Amino acid sequence: MMRADSVRFKAPLPLAILLGIAAGIAPVAVVLLTVQTPPAPPAPAVTLGNATADVGMFVVAIVESEPSRPLREFGATLLRNGFQSDVIPRLSVSAGGMFRFEDRADLGALSVGDRFTSRWMDDGHYEIRVTWQQQTLASATWDIAQPNVTFAPASIQEEWVNVSVSSADPRVPLFDFRASLWYDGTLISNIDPLDAPSGYPFAFADVDGDAELSPGDRFTSYWVYPYPYELRLEYRGSLLATAAWTVYAPNVTMVLDGVGPTTFWFNVTGAQPLWRLSNYEALAARDGSTVDEMSEVVNGTAPGGILSFEDRDGDGMVSVGDRFVVEAGAAGNWELAVSWHQYEIRRFQWTV
């Protein structure tokens, strides 16, 4: 009998080995294999540049991307005021709509010079986030605020009216603006967008050539008819600023002085303000029918030889001391009408 203090305990063998021994089979060595997952590659270093305004969009470029990784590993999100506006789940050569990614280097991998573009142009705070394996690697932010634009008083000239921009902060690309010219509540012309070609009767000049609305830029109206006018400036579809002015016809007074049976003088006794002769028109009529006219008043005789104008002081203006002359050689009811920019300012009637 075995003594109690001599009993030894051993760890039991695996059941398969015990059965093998019992059956007289030699024990089999068991090898356990452990499969280890390779460590994930480190996150690439990605840096975005500052957002810059371009025509109708904002641009954010990649300024660092190391090491190079395939585009499909990256995604991007555009947020406005903290809320998602658009997303590109996987970057590709050309992905997105209003929010786009451009593989500028055409490498199929995120690299320096590639860029994001956003055509979301509503006012607000914007952010682009670039992600890799659900990690945010880089972001860029910018703000779009409605600019403050003011105009200088209108400068009324003989042939045009100029309205200059006195302030514009911040400066915004011309593409975002639309301008229209109105008279007495009626639309005359518009420029849409503001960098589109323009001319008569309404024009815009980017005086400093910076393609942005900035102080010194100029609007020109070639309408100087006697009406109230309004310039309306819109920013992305909303009315932003206005400028108003009124063009007044000159106050010209004349007196009729018959100097012969058929010769009639109409002496200018007052003219304020002074305007050049070419701004005036005149016609002579008999019994309701025009017999002679000047589409632009000149110092001389009209084509019909009946109507003439004498610029007696030679200043090129309709001014005190000048005179219109009508040679009414036939009997009838006569008229002299003098207009300024097609707006009649004086009419005389008499009978011969």
Q: Is the pLDDT of residue 304 over 50?
A: yes
User: Which residue spans within 153-200 are E strands per DSSP?
Assistant: 155-156, 161-169, 177-183, 186-191
Q: Domain total for the chain? A: 3
Which one of 218, 246, 274 terminates a domain?
Answer: 246
Same domain, 179 and 235: yes
pLDDT in tens, 283-295: 999 999 999 999 9
Which one of 144, 171, 194 terminates a domain?
Answer: 144
Tokens of 145: 């605020």
pLDDT at 180: 98
Same domain, 215 and 174: yes
pLDDT at 54: 80
pLDDT in tens, 56-109: 789 999 999 999 999 999 999 999 999 999 999 999 755 558 999 999 989 999
81 three-state secondary structure = coil
In-domain check, residue 114: yes
Tokens of 316: 């090129």
Same domain, 57 and 78: yes
pLDDT in tens, 12-25: 545 444 444 444 55
pLDDT in tens, 164-199: 999 999 888 899 899 999 998 899 999 999 999 999
pLDDT in tens, 128-153: 999 998 899 999 999 988 899 999 99
Whole domain around residue 237: which residue ranges? Answer: 148-246
Give 121's pLDDT tier (boundaries 50, 70, 90): confident
What pTM did the predictor assign?
A: 0.64
Which one of 246, 280, 311 terminates a domain?
Answer: 246
In-domain check, residue 5: no
pLDDT at 96: 59
Q: What is the CATH number of the domain that holds 282?
A: 2.60.40
Q: Is the pLDDT of residue 11 over 60?
A: no
In-domain check, residue 220: yes
pLDDT at 93: 58
Same domain, 153 and 140: no
